[in-house]
Amino acid sequence: MRLKTSVITLASSRLNLESSTMNRLPWLLVVCVLIAVAAPCPPASAEELEEGWISLFNGQDFTGWKISEDGKWRIEDGMIVANGPRSHLFTDKQFNDFEFKAEVKTTPGSNSGIFVHTQFQESGWPEHGYETQVNVTHRDPVKTGSIYNVVKLYETPATDNEWWTQHIIVRGQNVVVKINGKTVVDFTEPEGVVGPRKLSEGSIALQAHDPNSVVYYRNLRVKPLDEE
């Protein structure tokens, strides 16, 4: 009888425990929901707070871009890698007044460039528009931020193996280039410029300069200014 009584008592205790747990379960769910709601959301990134910016690169393929000279462009971990024999990567879309930003990283001795108001051409160095230089320690003395063959900088705040933001603003006949927020070029095109090397309208293009240069690009975006 003692054994039977003990078994009954134990079974009764289990039932009471399960009943108590079931009764508390809805309250536990409520508490969990309240904690989740009260928890602070991750802060929005600076780029998410900026209005009017359009991403130019999806991080997976070259949709929206066109490659010249059968270039050896590749994508690694969401980054565009400029490397291999001379080639240029042109946006399909063309722009007039705009801001452009890209995060850029060079390896030592590398050379590249970002063209504005250019036009797709199957071979050769782009003839239209202007090139903003990407070069920290390549033997070419014209360094990052320069407008090639127009405004030459022989020093740059950019550093090899470190990401920097190259910010280009094209408005009317004026081009401003900023490196990590610092204005390094503020150029106004003179009146009466003739030929293809001038501001008008066109694509943005990246440059793969030579097989020994390896340059990385990520977070490429543009903000049209035409409607402002």
Write down the pTM of the prediction: 0.78
CB 135 within 8 A of CB 210: no
Average pLDDT over residues 4-8: 42
Q: Which residues contact 46 (CB under 8 A, 6 or more apart)?
A: none
Longest dimension (CA), the chain: 113
pLDDT value at 23 more than 60: no
Average pLDDT over residues 119-123: 97
Distances (CA, A) of 47 to 53, 59, 60, 64, 202: 8, 16, 20, 21, 25
DSSP one-letter string for 173-224: TEEEEEETTEEEEEEEPPTT--SSSS-S-BEEEEEE--TT--EEEEEEEEEE
Give pLDDT tens digits for 138-174: 999 999 999 999 999 999 999 999 999 999 999 999 9
Give pLDDT tens digits for 53-75: 999 999 999 999 999 999 999 99
User: What's the one-letter identity of residue 161?
Assistant: N
What pLDDT sits at residue 47?
A: 53
Task: State whether residue 55 is helix, strand or coil.
Answer: strand
pLDDT value at 51 more than 70: yes
Percentage of the chain lying above the pLDDT 90 cut: 75
Distances (CA, A) of 13 to 1, 23, 111, 120, 156: 18, 15, 77, 81, 77
- What's the whole-number average pLDDT of the chain? 85
